[in-house]
């Protein structure tokens, strides 16, 4: 791909209702390279995984500079499009969100996730509009995935989700991401009501991908769960070593040569 614009167009084309883009979410160069080598059509970063790997908690603690640098390290080694989770946009104002988006584009990503959290509809719409203006000024058709946290925060107000989604799309979002929904029938309602690609966050306990593909979902991601599973292995291996004095927790680790060679190619 010859340019960011080319990658952005390819990335947008991968969002097909019924044949969803599958994103396991990476947090560093090695996980990104493994994702690409396994056949993923794009690489998505997880803000939580990136933050944890750099020693800070998730939730807008990472900061714009470190987030952009983490994205740059990934885009420099993979050939597929990269989309970055930028939490709430790493800024208190719409103008600061615009600066973040420019930095992320400069780092080589062609998509972003921007979450609403507790923000009002008007505030978040202004932030998304600023993100779109920044991308337009940069000259790249950035894929803006607007995350709506209604269900993730324990609510179940579908009308609120649809109201927010409509406003966010009008403000310049490309797709809608509603984590916290694991019911394919509810996902199908969203798809029916929204004239935009719908993204689900799935994991253990949720129905398989096919059920959400049949519902018309265009994108499925795993979020921070892959990173947390990797850290669970580290925890289990340490507890086993210090307790039983055995090593079974790391029996399924990647061969040293496989990972090392992958990084040399990257």
Average the pLDDT over 54-81 and give the result.
95
Domains of the chain, earliest start first: 4-223 (3.20.20.60)
- Tokens standing for 58? 């998730």
**Residue 113 CA: distances (Å) to CA of 39, 205, 210:** 22, 24, 24
CA distance 141 to 93: 22
- At residue 60, the pLDDT reads 84
Q: Measure the CA–CA gap between 43 and 67, rounded to whole angstroms.
A: 15
What is the predicted pLDDT for the residue at 2?
A: 55
Confidence band, pLDDT 50/70/90 cuts, at residue 265: confident
* Mean pLDDT of all residues in 202-209: 97
Task: Indicate the pLDDT class of residue 1, thresholds 50, 70 and 90.
Answer: very low
- Average pLDDT of the chain, as a whole number: 96
Take residue 114 and report the two structure tokens written for it. Answer: 């921007």
Residue 155 pLDDT > 60, yes or no?
A: yes
Digit-coded pLDDT (tens) for 66-78: 999 999 999 999 9
Confidence at residue 44, expressed as pLDDT on a 0 to 100 scale: 98
Please write the tens of the pLDDT for every residue from 81-92.
Answer: 999 999 999 999
d(C-alpha 212, C-alpha 218), whole Å: 9
pLDDT digits (tens, 9 = 90+) for 132-143: 999 999 999 999
Helix (H, G, I), strand (E, B) or coil at 47: helix
Task: State mean pLDDT over 134-160.
Answer: 96
Q: How far is CA 247 from the centre of its chain?
A: 33
What per-residue confidence (pLDDT) applies to 43?
Answer: 98
Compute the residue count for the chain.
266
Residue 95 has pLDDT above 50, yes or no: yes
Q: For tokens 């795993």, name the residue.
A: 222
């Amino acid at each position: 791909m010859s340019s960011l614009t080319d990658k952005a167009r390819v990335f947008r084309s991968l969002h097909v209702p019924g044949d969803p883009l599958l994103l396991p979410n990476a947090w560093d160069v090695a996980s990104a390279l493994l994702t690409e080598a396994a056949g993923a059509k794009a690489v998505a970063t997880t803000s939580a995984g990136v933050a944890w790997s750099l020693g800070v908690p998730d939730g807008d603690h990472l900061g714009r500079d470190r987030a952009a640098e983490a994205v740059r390290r990934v885009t420099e080694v993979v050939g597929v499009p990269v989309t970055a989770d930028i939490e709430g946009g790493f800024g208190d104002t719409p103008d600061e969100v615009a600066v973040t988006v420019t930095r992320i584009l400069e780092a080589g990503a062609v998509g972003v996730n921007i979450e609403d959290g507790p923000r009002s509809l008007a505030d978040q719409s202004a932030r998304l509009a600023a993100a779109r203006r920044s991308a337009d000024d940069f000259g790249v058709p950035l894929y803006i995935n607007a995350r709506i946290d209604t269900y993730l925060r324990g609510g179940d107000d579908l009308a609120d989700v649809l109201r927010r989604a409509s406003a966010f799309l009008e403000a310049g979002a490309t797709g809608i991401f509603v984590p916290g929904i694991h019911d394919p029938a509810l996902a199908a309602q969203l798809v029916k009501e929204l004239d935009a690609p719908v993204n689900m966050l799935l994991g253990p306990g949720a129905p398989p991908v096919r059920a959400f593909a049949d519902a018309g979902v265009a994108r499925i991601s795993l979020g921070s769960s892959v990173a947390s599973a990797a850290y669970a292995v580290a925890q289990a291996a340490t507890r086993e070593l210090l307790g039983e004095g055995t090593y079974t927790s790391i029996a399924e680790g990647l061969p040293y040569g496989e990972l090392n060679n992958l990084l040399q190619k990257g």
